[in-house]
Amino acid sequence: MTQVLSKIACFVERYNFTDPREENALQNFKSTAEKLGHEFSFMFKERISDIPNYDAVFIRATTDPLYTAYIVSKTAWELGLRVVDDPESIKICGNKVHLYTLFKKHDVPHIPTVFLTKDELHHRRLVEIFKEFGKPVVLKAPYTSFSRYVEKVACETSFREVAKRFFRKSDVLVVQKFMPTAFDWRVGVLDGEVLYVCKYMIPKGRWKHGVKLRGKPTFIWGRTVTMKKENTPAKLKEVALKACNIIGNGLYGVDIKEFGGQYVVVEVNDNPSIYAGYEDLRNRDIYEKIIKFLVN
Amino acid sequence: MILSTMGKALSSSLTIENSCSGPKTSRVLYVLTPFSCYLVFPRYKHTVNFKYNCDNTVVLLSGVQWVLVVSNIDLTTNVPIVSPSTFLGLSIKDFIVNINNDYRYLKMGYYVSLHAETLGNHVIPASGNIIDANRIPIFLLRSSKAGIPVMSYTVTSSVKQIISEVGFPVVIFAVNPLIYDGFKIAKNRSSLYRAMKSLSMNYKFAVCAIPLRGEIFSFRSIFGKCELESDARKVSERVYGVFKIPICKLHAQRVDGKVYLCGLQPVKKEELTPLDLKLISEEIFLMSRHGDPSIV
């Protein structure tokens, strides 16, 4: 009987298995971990109380301080387990106000950003914002993920309408300059090193990678073009690593826009998407690297 | 002109940095204001950075250890108080006491602490504690680690698991992003299904199930102080010691005369009595004189 080196719990939700590309990636994690001599089990929210039975927790369900994934991460952390994503990364990346505040503080090149409180939702402030950033501007709820709760507004009326909707949940919003590009770079980073580089293409006639069709619940996503790490600009990787350094040393996906020859960070995502045949296309070793990081 | 708006200045050498016109040196011993004389004086340093807004609305001091209270509650204290939205626009460097009736994640109380931390300030409460205190399983886990008696709990979204592992009667707390207050007691299977459906938002999120073994009661905790008997008072003090949440409501169970912690939730403004406001003001006054004991 072979000895199990570490017991890894992979926290997932049902939706992680709805897309075959993601399901295949999860199976790749499982088989890689088992090849390396570890036990790898999928853990759903019904079995959170089993966390103390494991040595490490790998979170693949969507993370946010308000979601169950944070409970899992923090519980594992408090119990002294290795965990990806760690609660501090979730706390920072899960709130764009926090993230951009750190970008400003540490001089990370990022999309020009201001914050808006409920008290500031008045004509004079909106005029100032439009004057500073031009029209349209992008309004982001701090809890945005997968391109949701990010909207483009070009007039005061729509600004107020979107802001009021986002203010229902958060007392502070993010307002950014609109910077249209044909694609966003996605740089996967693990433990301060670049893991993979992709281009997330923007669907034709749209302005963000994921778009909800009007009147339909489904999202359409732009193509993913995977690059060889060696063939991507050094400055891009440098900016990505700088952005990750202020957050931690876990697993991150950094979204970067190339605009006027400059690289500006859109955001850093903890828990970045990893789909079989996409992010791993030119970097087959990402599963092994992540598992090794998790159990070391 | 600035000093006259501040109050009375006594004679000595002091470097004054005006954010509009740059640093300059003036002869003052300390700035005696209606609210800061006892704050600045005990920890007086010769160089004090002195800033004020160009519109003269807010005066900022740093280089001295003093207390700035950021509050959304009307308090009867002589300590300087700024509103949360004003504070978010400042870059003050001091010890911040964040007084708010609602410290939920994404609400103003959270952003004040986050902003203070980003500026490198010591703040009560810390943003991490705000998140943890409002996530019941993490709140109970950290309390338990600190030696506070807590009831055993199960985090799950399965009714069957609750019935088999916890039994009846059971107290159900929500662990989801939208419901934050209160709990439901289920004494039989049908009431458990109703409670689960509501608090898990149709089984989308997990809930925290705690066995009901005695009498459940709730009380306000103001800086760890409460008006109940000694056991509850001890719990309240120790919870404050761990999370430093100045104003909250605690839920506990009394089983065989012993108090067990069950949960925490925000306090509504209208629930605060004049006595509570007086207590808050007194605590702030004491803190401004003696500082926060946790600062080393």
| ipTM confidence score | 0.93
Claim to verify: residue A267 and residue A188 sit in the same structural domain = yes
pLDDT (0 to 100) of residue B41: 32
- Chain A residues touching B108 at Cβ < 8 A: 117, 171-172
CA dist., res. A58 & res. A41, Å (int): 10
Claim to verify: residue A47 and residue A25 sit in the same structural domain = yes
pLDDT one-digit tens code per residue, A62-78: 999 989 999 999 999 99
**Does any domain span residue A237?**
yes
Bridge partners, B215 (sequence order)? B254
Beta carbons within 8 Å of A124's beta carbon, 6+ residues apart: none
pLDDT (0 to 100) of residue A261: 87
pLDDT (0 to 100) of residue B218: 95
CA dist., res. B126 & res. B103, Å (int): 10
Query: Where does the pLDDT of residue B294 fall: very low under 50, low under 70, confident under 90, or very high at 90 and above?
Result: low
Q: Do B128 and A91 touch (CB under 8 A)?
A: yes
pLDDT one-digit tens code per residue, A275-296: 999 999 998 999 999 999 999 8
Q: What are the φ and ψ backbone dihedral angles of A291, each rounded to 5 degrees?
A: -65, -45
CA dist., res. A64 & res. A271, Å (int): 10
DSSP assigned state of B225: B
A and B: number of Cβ contacts within 8 A: 86
Beta carbons within 8 Å of A214's beta carbon, 6+ residues apart: none
Q: How far is B51 from chain A (nearest CA, A)?
A: 20
pLDDT (0 to 100) of residue B162: 95
Taking the Cβ of residue B27 and every Cβ of chain A, the question of whether any pair is shorter than 8 Å is answered with: no
pLDDT (0 to 100) of residue A4: 78
Least reliable range by pLDDT among A81-90, A108-117, B13-22 = B13-22
pLDDT (0 to 100) of residue A2: 64
Angle between helices B108-118 and A96-105 (to 10 degrees): 20
pLDDT (0 to 100) of residue B80: 80
Claim to verify: residue A266 and residue A201 sit in the same structural domain = yes
Contact in structure between B172 and B161 (CB atoms under 8 Å): no
**Does any domain span residue A1?**
no
Amino acid at B41: F
CATH number at residue A204: 3.30.470.20
Claim to verify: residue A193 and residue A285 sit in the same structural domain = yes
Beta carbons within 8 Å of A116's beta carbon, 6+ residues apart: A125, A129, A163, A172, A173, A174, A175
Average model confidence (pLDDT) for chain B? 79
CATH number at residue A25: 3.40.50.2300
Taking the Cβ of residue B105 and every Cβ of chain A, the question of whether any pair is shorter than 8 Å is answered with: yes
Residue A130 belongs to what domain range?
A: 112-177
**Does any domain span residue A93?**
no
Contact in structure between B132 and B243 (CB atoms under 8 Å): yes
Contact in structure between A92 and A70 (CB atoms under 8 Å): no
**Does any domain span residue A103?**
no
pLDDT one-digit tens code per residue, A168-184: 999 999 999 999 999 99
Q: Among A144, A177, A210, where does a domain finish?
A: A177
To test the contact with chain A by mutation, choose from B98, B101, B111 the residue with the greatest count of A C-beta atoms within 10 A, namely: B111
- Of B141, B196, B208, B154, the closest CA to residue A73 belongs to B141
pLDDT one-digit tens code per residue, A194-248: 999 999 999 887 887 877 777 777 777 888 999 999 999 999 999 999 999 999 9
Q: Nearest chain B Cα to A87, which residue? A: B128
Q: Which two tokens stand for residue A154?
A: 């070009």
Q: How far is B206 from chain A (nearest CA, A)?
A: 7
Bridge partners, A211 (sequence order)? A220
- Chain B residues touching A119 at Cβ < 8 A: 85
pLDDT one-digit tens code per residue, B116-152: 999 999 999 999 999 999 999 999 999 999 999 999 9
**Does any domain span residue A65?**
yes
Residue whose token pair is 């993920």: A145
Contact in structure between B5 and B59 (CB atoms under 8 Å): yes
pLDDT one-digit tens code per residue, B233-272: 999 999 999 999 999 999 999 999 999 999 999 999 999 9
**Does any domain span residue A13?**
yes
Task: Pick B135's closest partner by Cβ from A48, A71, A172.
Answer: A71
- Chain B residues touching A74 at Cβ < 8 A: 132, 135, 138, 141
Q: Do A91 and B131 touch (CB under 8 A)?
A: yes
pLDDT one-digit tens code per residue, B164-223: 999 999 999 998 777 777 799 999 999 999 999 999 888 888 899 999 999 999 999 999
CATH number at residue A119: 3.30.1490.20
Between vectors from CA B197 to CA B193 and to CA B201, what angle results, nearest 5°?
160
State the SS3 of chain A. CCCCCCEEEEECCHHHHCCHHHHHHHHHHHHHHHHCCCEEEEECHHHHHHHHHCCEEEECCCCCCCCHHHHHHHHHHHCCCEEECCHHHHHHHCCHHHHHHHHHHCCCCECCEEEEEHHHCCHHHHHHHHHHHCCCEEEECCCCCCCCCEEEECCHHHHHHHHHHHHCCCCEEEEEECCCCCEEEEEEEECCEEEEEEEEECCCCCCCCEEECCCCCCEEECCEEEECHHHCCHHHHHHHHHHHHCCCCCEEEEEEEEECCEEEEEEEEECCCCCCCCCCCCCCCHHHHHHHHHHC
- Chain A residues touching B135 at Cβ < 8 A: 65, 70-71, 74
Residue A146: C-alpha distances to residues A66, A157, B55, B175 (Å): 16, 26, 41, 22
Claim to verify: residue A139 and residue A197 sit in the same structural domain = no
Amino acid at A130: F
Which residue has better confidence, A255 or A260? A255
**Does any domain span residue A35?**
yes
Claim to verify: residue A160 and residue A186 sit in the same structural domain = no
Q: Which DSSP helix (H) or strand (E) runs through B244?
A: none
Bridge partners, A197 (sequence order)? A187, A227
Contact in structure between B24 and B18 (CB atoms under 8 Å): yes
pLDDT one-digit tens code per residue, A127-168: 999 999 999 999 999 998 877 899 999 999 999 999 999 999
Bridge partners, A259 (sequence order)? A262
CA dist., res. B89 & res. B92, Å (int): 9
Least reliable range by pLDDT among A79-88, B30-39, B94-103 = B30-39
- Mean pLDDT over residues A89-99, rounded? 97
Q: Which two tokens stand for residue B194?
A: 């109703």
- Chain B residues touching A47 at Cβ < 8 A: 156
Q: Which DSSP helix (H) or strand (E) runs through B129?
A: helix B127-133
Using the predicted structure, report yes or no on whether residue B50 has a pLDDT greater than 70: no
To test the contact with chain A by mutation, choose from B155, B166, B200, B205 the residue with the greatest count of A C-beta atoms within 10 A, namely: B155
Claim to verify: residue A275 and residue A200 sit in the same structural domain = yes
Claim to verify: residue A133 and residue A225 sit in the same structural domain = no
Using the predicted structure, report yes or no on whether residue B296 has a pLDDT greater than 50: no
Query: Where does the pLDDT of residue A1 fall: very low under 50, low under 70, confident under 90, or very high at 90 and above?
Result: low
CA dist., res. B108 & res. B86, Å (int): 11
Query: Where does the pLDDT of residue B57 fall: very low under 50, low under 70, confident under 90, or very high at 90 and above?
Result: very low
Taking the Cβ of residue B155 and every Cβ of chain A, the question of whether any pair is shorter than 8 Å is answered with: yes
Between vectors from CA B69 to CA B47 and to CA B40, what angle results, nearest 5°?
30
Residues in chain A: 296
Average model confidence (pLDDT) for chain A? 94
Please, where in chain B does CATH 3.30.1490 lie?
154-211
Q: Which DSSP helix (H) or strand (E) runs through B247?
A: strand B247-255
**Does any domain span residue A97?**
no
DSSP assigned state of B228: S
Q: How far is A140 from chain B (nearest CA, A)?
A: 13
- Of A143, A144, A142, A94, the closest CA to residue A248 belongs to A94
pLDDT (0 to 100) of residue B55: 42
CA dist., res. A235 & res. B81, Å (int): 45
Q: Nearest chain A Cα to B159, which residue? A: A46
How many domains are contained in chain A?
3
To test the contact with chain A by mutation, choose from B91, B135, B178, B179 the residue with the greatest count of A C-beta atoms within 10 A, namely: B135
- Of A192, A207, A175, the closest CA to residue A254 belongs to A192
Amino acid at A23: E
Q: Is domain B154-211 annotated with CATH 3.30.1490?
A: yes
Q: How far is B120 from chain A (nearest CA, A)?
A: 10
| Percent of chain B surpassing pLDDT 70 | 75
- Mean pLDDT over residues B27-48, rounded? 35
Claim to verify: residue A286 and residue A249 sit in the same structural domain = yes
Q: Do A46 and B154 touch (CB under 8 A)?
A: no
CA dist., res. B5 & res. B174, Å (int): 49
Q: How are beta strands B81-82 and B67-71 bridged, if at all? A: parallel
Q: Do A48 and B111 touch (CB under 8 A)?
A: no
Q: How far is A229 from chain B (nearest CA, A)?
A: 33
Q: Do B138 and A169 touch (CB under 8 A)?
A: no
Q: Do B157 and A65 touch (CB under 8 A)?
A: no
Beta carbons within 8 Å of B2's beta carbon, 6+ residues apart: B16, B18, B50, B52, B56, B59
Which residue has better confidence, B46 or A211? A211
Q: What global pTM score does this model have? A: 0.87
Claim to verify: residue A146 and residue A186 sit in the same structural domain = no
